[in-house]
Amino acid sequence: MLGGIGLVRQLIEVLVGYVGGVAPTGGEVDKGVVIFEVVEFVHLFLVGTVLYITAAGLYQLFVQELNFPRWLKIDSTEELETNLIGVTVVVLAVNFMGAVFVGEREFLLPYGAGIALPIAALGLFIGLRAWSLKLSRQTAVEAEEWQERAEEQGTPSQEAVEKAAAGE
Give the list of residues 6+ apart from residue 13 with CB closer than 8 angstroms, or none.
Answer: 23, 24
Domain boundaries, given as residue ranges, for the chain: 2-103
What is the full DSSP assignment across the chain?
-HHHHHHHHHHHHHHHHHHHSS-TTSSPPPHHHHHHHHHHHHHHHHHHHHHHHHHHHHHHHHT------GGG---SHHHHHHHHHHHHHHHHHHHHHHHHHHT--TTHHHHHHHHHHHHHHHHHHHHHHHHHHHHHHHHHHHHHHHHHHHHHTTPPPHHHHHHHHHT-
User: What span, in angstroms and rounded, lies between the C-alpha atoms of 52 and 68?
Assistant: 13
Geometric angle at alpha carbon 117, from 111 and 120, rounded to 5°: 140
CA distance 78 to 89: 16
Express each pLDDT in 100-156 by its tens digit.
776 666 778 888 888 889 889 988 988 888 888 888 888 888 888 887 777 777 665
Q: Does residue 1 register a pLDDT over 80?
A: no
Residue type, 126: I
Q: What does the pLDDT look like over 41-89, one tens digit per residue?
A: 777 887 887 788 888 888 888 888 878 777 777 777 877 888 788 888 8
Please report which confidence band the pLDDT of residue 163 belongs to, taking 50, 70 and 90 as the band edges: low
Q: Average pLDDT in the 24-43 region?
A: 67
Contacting residues for 49 by C-beta, under 8 A, at least 6 apart: 87
Residue 24: per-residue pLDDT: 52
* pLDDT at residue number 105: 66
- pTM score: 0.58
Q: What is the mean pLDDT of residues 34-40?
A: 74
Size of the chain, expressed as the number of residues it contains: 168
Give the pLDDT of residue 84: 81
